[in-house]
Homo-oligomer: A and B are copies of this chain.
Amino acid sequence: MTTCLIGLDWGSTYLRAYRFDARGQVLEKRALPYGIRHLPEGGYPAAFAQAVEGWPDAPVLACGMVGSRNGWREVPYLDTPTGVDRLARALTPMTTPDGRRLHLVPGLRDPVRPDVMRGEETQIVGVMAQTPDIARHGCLLLPGTHSKWVTLREGVVTGFATVMTGELFGLLTQHSLLGAQLPPAVDDTGAFRRGVDTARDSGAAGALSRVFSARTLMLDGSLPPTSVPDYLSGLLIGDELRMAIAAGWADAHTQVHMVGEGPLCDRYLRAAERFALTLRAAPDATTSHGLWCIAEAAGLTSTHATA
């Protein structure tokens, strides 16, 4: 089969490689543990060589932290509002040591808040291509270590905001007094819901004004020590939803489409049920599709087809 494009999703902790045919179908994919924080001996060139080893010569498009300040080459952010065409015109080309042509996708910057993302812009392009109605008028949620709330209008990212929910959860459970000396966590959906409701009911003060309750309730005996992590998870995810409504990123009249699946997304779905917020799962596996769309808009897929 013809290889028309190689796509790389290169983040802090992972490197995923995709080989595409001329119709944008993924012929082969690889996952390597070489995020930019965990490079092998030989650094970027060695990781890159392994990712594309044995694959035909075709244009390579890469997104994610590989284009950050600590990446292979720093690619300036592109300011919102931005659609796929502006992204495609802003690729940074470079030649790798093994002679391949690599194009780096810029991250996005919302100059109003200000805020930044790298990698998610490509996921968003993939979602927009698959669901035109969301692209026309939508609110996307990409949950994770650094959750993103994205506003879409007429196929353009008009603005976005980052909430450090996942990272904060890690800090509180691993390093704070609240999480210290706890026995191993046990699933407790009731404790999760209790945390969500506490955040929702914290009003304009917000859940940080209530986070110490994780300790108080535990000392009280009304929250088992093994359930503190689920309570904190509910409190922080609930607070993210609370602040999304308070900040106007989401409202009761707009469906929020969540990108992803798995246990974390399930938590967001369960939390949303406690709010006047309609949260739907959007199609996943969108980064590879986004890479293809950006490459197509940049004219990379038509010129270099090789056997």
Tell me the smallest distance from the CB of A140 to a CB of chain B, in Å: 17
Q: Which of A23-31, A45-53, A169-177 contacts B (4 or more CB under 8 A)?
A: A169-177
Known: A171-B172, A204-B246, A246-B205. A115 touches B211 (CB 8 A): no
Cβ–Cβ contact B146 & A212, under 8 A: yes
Cβ–Cβ contact A208 & B239, under 8 A: yes
How far is B212's CA from A113's CA once the two chains are assembled, in angstroms? 10
Cβ–Cβ contact B212 & A162, under 8 A: yes
Q: Which of A215-223, A259-267, A299-307 contacts B (4 or more CB under 8 A)?
A: A215-223
Cβ–Cβ contact A212 & B171, under 8 A: no
Cβ–Cβ contact A219 & B116, under 8 A: yes
Cβ–Cβ contact A175 & B164, under 8 A: no
Q: Tell me the count of chain A residues lying within 8 A, CB to CB, of chain B.
A: 40
Q: A163 is contacted by which of B77, B115, B208 (Cβ under 8 Å)?
A: B208
A97 at the A/B interface (Cβ < 8 Å)?
no
Cβ–Cβ contact B172 & A208, under 8 A: no
Tell me the smallest distance from the CB of A19 to a CB of chain B, in Å: 32
Residues from chain B with Cβ under 8 Å of A211 in the complex: 164
Residues from chain B with Cβ under 8 Å of A220 in the complex: 114
A102-133: contact bitstring with B at CB < 8 Å (1 yes, 0 no)? Answer: 00000001000111100000000000000000
A282 at the A/B interface (Cβ < 8 Å)?
no
Residues from chain B with Cβ under 8 Å of A162 in the complex: 212
Cβ–Cβ contact A247 & B209, under 8 A: yes
Tell me the smallest distance from the CB of A123 to a CB of chain B, in Å: 18
Residues from chain B with Cβ under 8 Å of A216 in the complex: 109, 113-116
How far is B161's CA from A246's CA once the two chains are assembled, in angstroms? 23
Interface residues of A in 212-239 (CB under 8 A from B): 212-213, 215-217, 219-220, 239
Interface centre among A114, A178, A212, A246 (most CB of B within 10 A): A212
Tell me the smallest distance from the CB of A74 to a CB of chain B, in Å: 10
Query: Which residue from chain B places its CB closest to the CB of A172 in the assembled complex?
Result: B171
Tell me the smallest distance from the CB of A79 to a CB of chain B, in Å: 11
Residues from chain B with Cβ under 8 Å of A116 in the complex: 215-216, 219
Q: A164 is contacted by which of B176, B206, B247 (Cβ under 8 Å)?
A: B176
Residues from chain B with Cβ under 8 Å of A217 in the complex: 114
A69 at the A/B interface (Cβ < 8 Å)?
yes
Cβ–Cβ contact A203 & B163, under 8 A: no
Cβ–Cβ contact B176 & A167, under 8 A: yes
Q: Can you list 5 A-B contacts with CB-CB less than 8 angstroms, sorted by A residue number?
A: A114-B216, A116-B216, A162-B212, A164-B211, A206-B239
Listed from nearest, the 8 A-B pairs whose CB atoms lie closest are A205-B247, A206-B206, A204-B204, A204-B246, A162-B212, A205-B246, A205-B243, A171-B171
